[in-house]
Structure 1
Amino acid sequence: MKKRINNFSKNITNEPNLPAAHAMLYATGMKELDFCKAQIGIVSNWFDGNPCNMHLDKLAKKIKLSILSQNLIGFQFTTIGVSDGITMGTSGMRYSLPSRELIADSIETVVNAHYYDGIIAIPGCDKNIPGVMIALLRLNRPSIIVYGGSISSGYYNGKKLDIVSSFEALGKKNTCKITEKEYKNIVKNSCPGPGACGGMYTANTMASALEAMGMMLPYSSSSPSISENKKIECKEVSIYIKKLLEIGIKPKDIVTKSSIENGVKLAMALGGSTNLILHFLAIAKSANINFSLKDFQRISNQVPLIGNLKPSGIFLMEDIHMYIGGMPVIIKYLLNEGILSGDCITVTGKTLYENMKNVPNITFNQKIIHPLYNPIKKNGHIRILYGNLSPQGSVAKITGKEGTIFRGKANVFNSEKEANQAILNNKILPGVVIVIRYVGPMGGPGMPEMLKPTSYIMGSGLGKKVALITDGRFSGGSHGFVVGHITPEAQSGGLIALIQNEDFITIDAENNTITLEVEDQEIQKRKNLWSPPLLKVKKGYLYKYIKTVSSASEGCITDQL
């Protein structure tokens, strides 16, 4: 007997007492014979105001045609997205991280309300990917993620460009390293078309991790946005969603502690974004899996950095596709070397090991991926730091290029804007620790990314001469001696709120500590005089976010109650 796969949609289509619902389904183009077919929600983060997302509707349409060929019903819908690149350094960036929760909530709402039997999600930009993953875990129905793919590189004056090139160009222009004409040409040529930002920034970090975790088909993370491979993936995904429906494999069967570790290990090996921490804490929470900051540090101690990828390296995701042969080649290498676990089930219905059987072996006649016996860094670039400045933890992104220990006098700013102005006006001296505070989950609100200041620092030639700490977070494009996610944040009375100019701060990425060198008695005196500033917003979504969001050390989730 053929197994029923319309386990949810039958609650509407097979229910005789819902004539209005049936009438509306007929209006969508369904025929009577279609009422016994499984329904697939095809959700994309399409909107045409962001290159990361502007092509997703085309991919969704290709997937819908493929779904119909498998005798399934596909219904397209969209959810929101926020462009980090466009909003970076503005008050609009406050909405970036909170958009992750809206994405998850909206997908959960539509799929539960309309009883779809399975979901194919098509994310593009940074918060899209964890947002859809959180939703799929809440729903726990057969699901596959199809990544929108990475952008092609820009090109100017003999050099490859990407989005961070444009940010760093401003710092170079302001220090007279390039002309106004060169600056404008870099900006004009950094983003040549559709796709997510090209380096191992947050979108590509999360896509790579989710492929290793088993929630994407092999090659999904590394197939470029406009490649023939991406079109083929959109055609073939329907075969696998039908297989998942028939077998009954759901996201919580795929997302286990072991598969989460696979995702984090791959991302660490490639030099991925610190946003990985926030998103995987939230993903683990949605899957009811115990995974904490200490797990990230344990993994970072175990996994060498082997990816020579931007921002700290020089290559882009398209180079993995063109010169390595795609992400599965790297995954297979790490599997064979015992870094990854191969027995985790994936969306193909097979284990990760089985998926990699026919994948070519990596060769090292290229400079993108180093062998484990000759890594860029012997352990991970992400360090979880504790100390009086961050008793609940903070996250450092330190590749070793800027050193591993930094001690300097504090230069304190109560907003990103103030810090940016100081850097661009050449008021930052070598040897200082720049402190940007009141930009955490509540204080920001929304924990905005500090890509502008880190890019300006690098563009100004200060990358090895200053450090930056914040209760905000960093873009995947950030690099340098930087520490974010300092918890507790300033708005809730964390010690970062009490730092004064000229205080000495020591950041030690060898012993994983961050210390404000001020006597306890003086700290208590400052604490007695401190009171929290007024919230920056008093109504609307961001106000709701402030009232419900957890700390960065818990993933900034809003459904913890």
Structure 2
Amino acid sequence: MQKKFKSGTFLPDSLISCRTLYKANGFSNDDMSRPIIGVCNSFTDIVPGHRHLKELAEQVKYGVYRAGGTPVEFGCIAVCDGVCTTHSGARYSLPSRELVADSIETMARAHRLDGLVLIGSCDKTVPGMLMAAARLDIPCIFLAGGCMLGGQSFGGKRKSDSTSIEEAYGMYQVGKIDHDVLEDITELCCPTVGSCQHMATANSMCCMAEALGLSLPGSAAIPAVYNDRIRAALLSGETAVHMVLNGITSRDILTPKAIRNAIMVLMATGGSTNCVIHTLAIAHEIGLDSKTVMGWFEEYGNNIPLICRINPASKEFDAEDFYKAGGIPEVQRQMKPLLYNDCMTVTGKTIGENAAACRSLYPKNPEVITSLEKPFSTLAGLAIMHGNLAPDTAVAKPAAVAEEVRHFTGKAICFDSEDAVSDAIAKQLIKPGHVVVVRYEGPKGAPGMPEMFKPMKLLYGQGLNKCTALITDGRFSGTNNGCFVGHISPEAAAGGPIALIEDGDEVEIDIPNKKLELHVSDEELARRKAAFHYEPKEVDGYLKRYALHARSADQGGVIVD
């Protein structure tokens, strides 16, 4: 017997060899008469955000079967930015996003899956999964693994987090703490599994998936170790089957209006700067032009206030506090007058209907999520920068920049790699008034566009976060604070103006007015441009292919032919 549903009939007689091989795995004819739901599990022992996903996958499969589907599980790679950031492996982080998307596309289409549950947590895995969902246009739902809980307080009221160790290392470098204290922090700052505790890229992208309508309402911010996370896994499995039976596909959800909703939520919550490059990549999969999408970031950056305070925008509250304050549904309720509330979601209901119906068991906390009328800042969480240093844009995060350094002018001190600047910081060569320039770290130049997370945290630990700035054609972690601008395009490897800066040049960063300027005459810049020469790094394997085919940061860093 063949069961029919809106997306078609699975494995008809013409595909009898496929049925035969499914039976080799123990599946029955009844199993194969149901919607076949792929469960993409990015479990790994390496990544704390993914260490617990085996249990969630089992609950998803139970939910699929309970709703009348047949679950089939397969694996997916997951790179941890925190584990790879401190060495050359950081080059592989952003490029891993493309591998995630390609591998999911391959598994889903090669095996003719009717729907997908995508289980992930971390920085590049989540956007890679969302890119695959957009590309496949079959019923897809994303399940976040959840955030880890905060650690022992360190250096103030705020709970410690996965990046506190780099701050502490900066303190150790200048003699503020001894090695025993440094070692203790490694034991205390990450007490559970889950994605890192701040509104960095992992949690920002999980929240974005919910804002897009691709996750269950209220599920993005549930901590990894809460029992609500298990219930969300089971319900996600059930929902995937309902989507197949009702013919709801990913592109019914991932519309231009949904992308705009997600950008507005990112602005209001102080999401990671990396979300810009990932949003561009997801939009690319549904055929949207990067200039159009970047234009939306600029538009909403001018009129969406910051209504959430979560680390690094807060010195007290983290991702667990965001969940207890109501998470994304509470943000959407506060933003109702601005959002496209009629957008479809995985539940079969609209964003507006979901937000209205979602109820938190915890009391509201206006210190974490406030209203449009009483925002924490009239500046949006993200800012798209322009100027003679960023002809094709750059990205800053006002939510993580102290008010007194949002307009910063200083003398450039230039480095052609992250390793070089980290060494200079260790030698205490960075002084108050410096604008640290880190270049040749873009998609083609690095290659792979690694995060400048470590230098920023070291500067913070040394007490230089409010008297120096850092600009780069690389990326930043969403947890970085201080005065910083990243994603500078064109990158240095493409001959962008950042390649022409010399030590001692005056650089102006004006975040409120979204300006990034090098105070050097056009004539002098033209002279330097004429003398510019770039020699690409010698790389092999996947990085070589990525460097050859990757687009610039302002186009999402995607691979094209």
TM-score when normalising by structure 2: 0.95
1-side partners of 2:353 and 2:378: how far apart?
29
Q: Does 1:555 align with 2:545?
A: no
Cα offsets for 1:229-264 (capped at 9, x unmatched): 111111112332122112211111111122112111
Q: Deviations over 1:108-139 (max 9, x none)?
A: 00000000000000011111111000001111
- Superposed CA offset, 1:311-339 (max 9, x none): 131311111223x144322222222xx13
Query: Is residue 297–residue 382 contact of structure 1 (8 Å, CA) maintained in 2?
Result: no
Q: Report deviation, 1:33.
A: 2.3
> What corresponds to 1:59 in structure 2?
56
Alignment of 1:260-275 (within 5 A): 260-275=259-274
Match in the other structure for 1:332: 333
Partner of 1:394: 394
RMSD of the TM alignment (CA)? Answer: 1.9
Aligned residue in 2 for 1:280: 279
2:353 match: secondary structure: helix
Offset, 1:431: 0.7
Deviations 1:137-177 (A, max 9, x none): 11100110011111111225686211111111111122222
Match of 2:350 in 1: 351
- For 2:332 and 2:41, locate their aligned partners in 1 and report how far apart those are by CA, in whole Å: 26
Q: Secondary structure at the match of 1:406?
A: strand
Checking the alignment, whether the CA contact within 8 Å between 1:332 and 1:359 is kept in structure 2 is: no
The alignment-based identity, stated in percent, is 37
Partner residue, 1:196: 195
The answer (yes or no) to whether the contact 2:7–2:244 under 8 Å persists in 1 is no
Deviates more, 1:483-492 or 1:170-179: 170-179
Per-residue deviation, 1:9: 6.5
* Residue pair 2:261, 2:339 contacting (<8 A) in 1 also: yes
1:78 to 63, 70, 75: 75
State whether residues 59 and 230 of structure 2, in contact with CA within 8 Å, keep that contact through their aligned partners in structure 1.
yes
The CA deviation at 1:5 is: 2.5
State how far apart, in whole Å, the 2-side matches of 1:146 and 1:94 are: 27
The alpha-carbon distance between structure 1 residues 550 and 498, as it changes in their structure 2 partners (threshold 3 A), is same
Instruction: Find the aligned partners of 1:127 and 1:186 in 2 and give their Cα distance.
Output: 26
Q: Distance in 1 between matches of 2:185 and 2:8?
A: 51
Post-superposition offset of 1:510 = 2.7
1:452 & 1:27 partners in 2: Cα distance?
50
CA contact (8 A) 1:345 1:351 kept: yes
2:104 alignment counterpart = 107
Counterpart of 1:49 in 2: which secondary structure? coil
Larger deviation: 457-466 or 28-37?
A: 28-37
| Mapping 1:114-153, distance limit 5 Å | 114-153=111-150
Matched residue, 1:383: 383
Change (3 A) 1:251 1:17: closer
What is the CA-CA distance between 1:365 and the residue it aligns to?
A: 5.1
How do 1:162-561 residues align onto structure 2 when only pairs under 5 Å count? 162-290=161-289, 291-314=292-315, 315-322=317-324, 324-335=325-336, 338-360=337-359, 366-399=366-399, 400-401=401-402, 402-537=404-539, 539-559=540-560, 561=561
Tell me if structure 1 keeps the 8 A contact 2:66–2:238: no
1:532 maps to a residue whose letter is Y
Amino acid at match of 1:440: G
Deviation at residue 65 of structure 1 after TM alignment: 1.8
CA separation in 2, counterparts of 1:476 and 1:62?
Answer: 30
Matched, 1:50 2:52: no
C-alpha separation between the residues in 2 aligned to 1:468 and 1:65?
A: 48
Q: After superposition, what is the alpha-carbon deviation per residue over 1:409-462, rounded to whole angstroms, capped at 9, x for unaligned?
A: 100001111111212222111111100001000111100000001111111111
Return the offset for 1:307: 1.6
CA contact (8 A) 1:200 1:310 kept: yes
Shift of 1:376: 2.0
Cα distance between partner residues in 1 of 2:431 and 2:31: 69
CA distance in 2, matches of 1:355, 1:60: 24
Mean Cα displacement is larger for which, 41-50 or 506-515?
Answer: 506-515
Whichever residue aligns with residue 207 of structure 1, its letter is C
1:270/1:305 contact within 8 Å kept: yes
Q: Secondary structure at the match of 1:33?
A: helix
AA aligned opposite 2:103: S
More deviation in 270-279 or 415-424? 415-424
Question: What SS is found at the alignment partner of 2:357?
Answer: coil
After superposition, the C-alpha distances for 1:15-41 in whole angstroms (9 at most, x for unaligned) are: 34643x332211111112222211001
Bigger shift: residues 289-298 or 255-264: 289-298
SS of the residue corresponding to residue 190 of structure 2 reads coil
Aligned residue type for 1:553: D
Consecutive unaligned residues of structure 2, counting only runs of 5 or more, are: none
List alignment gaps of at least 5 residues for structure 1.
Answer: none
